[in-house]
Structure 1
Amino acid sequence: MTSLLLHMRPIFFGTVLGIGGLANGWRVASRLWGAPVLIGEALAVTAFALWALWSVLYALKWRFHTDAAREEIRHPAQGLIAALAPVSTLIAAIAIGPHVPLLGWGLFIAGAAGVALYAAWSVGGLWQGGRAPQEVTPILYLPTVGGGLVAGIASATFGQPALGWMFFGMGLFSWLSMESVFLTRLFQHGLPATARASLGMELAPPAVACVAYLSLAPGPADRAALALFGYGCFLALVMLRLVPWLRQQPFGPGAWGYTFGVASLPLAALKLVEQGAGAPVTQMALALFVAGNLIIGWIALRSLVGVIGFFRRRPG
């Protein structure tokens, strides 16, 4: 048990974002194309179950291995990955809400409060300076950009649009202010192979912002939503161009960092189609949806093989 807890890392909450985002895509696809409802709900329940598992293990790690957990959260480059805990709580709320509304509401309140508090704590640390260039990666987006935009989606889901627009502002303006900081570092210093999976988080903001905007403004899709979607598609093309460079980093849990953007871009396309966007989004939606399922399915399969190998290597 000790070995298992020490191997528990906040990046594992990324599985909830990837699978939960895919579940939301299938939910829209069932409304739009008549896709089987069971698939989306099975993915949603899986996302919730993973959130519950990681939450228990992470809580136990803080209880029995406090020093190790505290050292992770204080790491200058990787520490802010802990923001995935409250963000994934919001995804779990969206996943389970239609089945157990009271539980969904409880998780929404806890997740929204956690996002706001952790974002304030993390930004307060960033404002004190002292961060080396190699410590500036898209992981910095997680507390404010990821947290704010996902909280916006969750607020819309639970019928709180005013709160949702406030969170949307937090996420959007944090993204716009941080984007140039990260790109400047990337242009000058690049990223070592060991940190390149963090670029998956660079793909997510415009797609998640598009989904949040459409969730909060459920009328006909407008130019702002299309602009966000267009930038997300452009970043996806950049990521495709970088595949050989990105694959220099060995496969590991960090690969789940790609999945929320990969799930959110087709979800944005589906919601745009649902809300009246015409060509070329209508023609792109199915291809993006299929690609998203294949990529996340491949990452999930590789991860499952890794988990099986981990338990086989354990003594006894």
Structure 2
Amino acid sequence: MTSFLLHMRPMFFGSVLGIGGLANGWRMATRLWGAPMLIGEALAVLAFGLWLLWSVLYALKWLLHPGAARAELNHPAQGLIAALAPVSTLIAAIAIGPHVPLLGWSLFIAGTAGVALYAAWSVGGLWQGGRVPQEVTPILYLPTVGGGLVGAIACATFGQTALGWMFFGMGVMSWLSMESVFITRLFQHTLPAAQRSSLGMELAPPAVACVAYLTLTPGPADKVALALFGYGCFLALVMARLVPWLRQQPFGPGAWGYTFGVATLPLAALKLTEQGAGEPVTQMALALFIAGNAIIGWIALRSVIGVFAFLRRPAG
């Protein structure tokens, strides 16, 4: 158990975002195309189960190995991955809310509070400066951009539209202010292979912003939503062009960093279709949905194989 806890990383919460995003896509596919409801709800329960598992293990790590957990949190390049804990709590709330409303509301309240507090704490640290270019990666998006935009989706889902627009503002303004910083760093400094999975977080903001915007404005889709979706599609093409370069990083838990954007881009296409965007989005929706399921399924399969390989290793 000690060895397993020491290998527990906040990045594991990324699986909740990927599976939870896929669950929401299947829920939408049920409404649009009559896809089996059981698939979406099974994925939602799986996302909640993963969140519960990682939460318990991460809490035990802080309880039994506080030095190791604190060292991770203070790491200049990787520390802010801990933002996935409150963000995944919101995903878990959306996943379980339709089945256990009281639990869903409790997680929603805890998640929104956690996102706001952790974002303020992390930005307060960033404003003090002292970072070198090698420490500036899209991981810095997680507390404010990821937290703000997922917070907006969760607020809209739980009927808190005014609060949702506030979180949307936090997410979008943080994204716009940091985007040029990351792109400039990428232009000037090669991203080491060990950090390249962080680019998966570069893919997510426009897609998540599109879903958040559409969830907050349930009327007909407008040009703002289409513009956000278009930028998300462009980034997906860039990521596809980079696949050989990205694969120079060995497979590991960081691969889940790709999955939220991969799951949310087809979800954005499905929501645009539902809200009357018309062509060419309706033609793209099915292809993106199939691709998202295939990519996340492959990452999940590789992860399960990796877990079994870890468990079968000789002790010591």
Return the TM-score normalized by structure 1.
Answer: 1.00
Aligned to 1:8: 8
Which amino acid in 2 is paired with 1:282?
A: T
Superposed counterparts of 1:33-182, under 5 Å:
33-182=33-182
Alignment partner, residue 310 of structure 1: 310
Equivalent residue for 1:211? 211
State the Cα distance separating 1:179 from its structure 2 match: 0.2
- Please list the CA deviations of residues 211-240 of structure 1 after superposition, one character each: whole Å capped at 9, or x if unmatched: 000000000000000000000000000000
Q: Which runs of 5+ in 1 are unaligned?
A: none
TM-aligned CA distance change 1:171 to 1:311, over 3 Å: same
Residue 56 of structure 1: how far off its partner (Å): 0.2
CA distance change for structure 1 residues 109 and 22 in 2, over 3 Å: closer, same or farther?
A: same
- The Cα offsets for residues 178-235 of structure 1, whole Å up to 9 and x where unpaired, read as 0000100000002011100000000000000000000000000000000000000000
Give 1:281 shift: 0.1
CA RMSD after TM alignment: 0.6
Structure 1 partner of 2:228 = 228
Structure 2 residue runs without a partner (length 5+): none
Q: Secondary structure at the match of 1:211?
A: helix
Rounded Cα–Cα distance in structure 1 between residues aligned with 2:281 and 2:195: 32
Instruction: Give the C-alpha shift of residue 315 in structure 1.
Output: 2.1
Distance 1:179 1:112 in 2: 24
Partner of 1:129: helix, strand, or coil?
A: coil
Matches of 1:256 and 1:121, distance apart in 2? 25
> One-letter code of the match for 1:209?
A
Distance in structure 2 (CA, Å) of the matches to 1:219 and 1:288: 23
Report the CA distance between 1:171 and its aligned residue: 0.2
- Once residues 183 and 225 of structure 1 are traced to their aligned partners in structure 2, the CA distance between those partners, rounded to angstroms, is 23
Give the deviation of 1:142 after TM superposition: 0.1
* SS of residue in 2 equivalent to 1:313: coil
TM-score normalized by structure 2?
A: 1.00
Cα deviation, residue 278, structure 1: 0.5
Q: Percent identity?
A: 85
Shift of 1:314: 3.8
User: Offset of 1:139 from its aligned partner?
Assistant: 0.1
Q: Which runs of 4+ in 1 moved over 4 A?
A: none
Cα distance in 2 for residues equivalent to 1:254 and 1:314? 24
CA-CA distance at 1:155 after TM superposition: 0.2
Q: Report how far residue 253 of structure 1 moved.
A: 0.3
